[in-house]
Structure formats: structure tokens, C-alpha cells
Amino acid sequence: MHHNVPAVWIEFEQAFREKFVDSTGELRARNELDKLKFKYPEIDGHIAKFEDLIVKANYNLASQEAINLFLKGFSHSRNLLDKVFTPPVPQTYEAMKKRMVAIVKSMQLVNSIAHNAPNFRPFQRGNQSRFPQGNQPTQGFAPRQVNSSNAPPWMRNMPVPMDTSNRACTPRQGQT
């Protein structure tokens, strides 16, 4: 008696799949892909989730449909899409993904620099400037005098350029 009959195994495998495999998995993955939205700054997580859902939805990652779904996930990030489509425009998913990652990483770097920069003030629109302009009253505004004792940490132990040429001397009294 043969216990290893290929036809029996194939029939068992087919019955097992019909009974236990999720028949709506592909449809659910397609619905999730349709709703997937990028949340800054999670570019790596977004791409991993996207590629996982593409496989589950049985799409070809190189297809135009997959590329369109990828871009749709960034529809609320117009500035990202504008930067992706600056020439030369990427033609493949891999090229588009690479450019999107580079753009988001550079945005993260700029934000990091801006948040750690001393005395950084975000751009203010309109006439909301903190500094007086023209002949407006200063209302107690005076530039802060900085010396070696009260200098902020980022200014300490910094070389200061000095003009040591003879031109910088002011004439003494009685000399002209």
C-alpha cells in the first residue's frame, strides 16, 4: 500500500485552501491600498506597508496601476508630489520611491536643523515682525549686549575676526 500518492496530497491541499485560506484577503488589501495615506515623517513604514499590500492585493509592483496607487497615498502632501515631478520625472516605481525617500529625508534634515538652530524663528507673514521697522517706536526694544560672560553656548569659544590693520585706528585728539 502506497501512503505517498500525489493525487491524494493535491486533493488534500485544495480542500485545505478552500476551507482555511482567506478568500477576501485580496479585496481587503485593495481597499486598504485605496485608503493608505502617508503620514510625515514615516516614509519607510509607509513604503513597507504599501509594498506588503501590493503583494496581498495581487498587483504587479511595476504596473502603472501600482504606481498610481503609490502616488495616491501622497495626495494630501502636494509639496511632496510637486518635488517628485520636477524634471527629470521618474518613470518607474523604484525610481519614484527612491526620489520620494530622498525628498522626505531631506525635509527631515531641514526640520531637524531648524529645531536645533539657536534663536530660530519660523517665517512670519505680514506685519507680525518682532523687530521695529523704520521710525516705529521701539517699545522697550534694545539689542542685547553680548560679552564673554553672558554669551549663549553656541557663541562661546568662537574666534572673532578683528581688523588689526592701521586703518582701524581712530585719530587721537589733537591729530588730524
Rounded CA-CA distance 176/37 in Å is 75
Pairwise CA distance, residues 66 & 64, whole Å: 5
- Is this prediction's pTM over 0.85? no
Query: What average pLDDT score do residues 27-51 get?
Result: 94
Cα–Cα distance, 121 to 109 (Å, whole number): 17
| Residue 72 in domain | yes
Give yes or no for a contact between 80 and 100, defined as CB atoms under 8 angstroms apart.
Answer: yes
The answer, yes or no, to whether residue 143 has pLDDT greater than 80, is no
Sole residue written with cell 521695529: 132
In a domain, 148, yes or no: no
Q: Which domain holds residue 29?
A: 23-116
pLDDT in tens, 53-81: 999 999 999 999 999 999 999 999 899 99
Residue 171 lies in a domain: no
Residue 176 within any structural domain of the chain: no
- Total structural domains within the chain: 1
Q: Is the peptide bond before 41 cis (omega within 30 degrees of 0)?
A: yes
Within a domain: residue 130?
no
105: CB partners within 8 A, 6+ apart: 43
Contacts of 39 (CB under 8 A, 6+ apart): 46
pLDDT on residue 70: 95
Q: How far apart are CA 61 and CA 80, in angstroms?
A: 21
Q: Is residue 165 part of a domain?
A: no
As a whole number of angstroms, the distance between CA 62 and CA 8 comes to 38
Q: Is position 33 within any domain?
A: yes
Classify residue 50: in a domain, yes or no.
yes
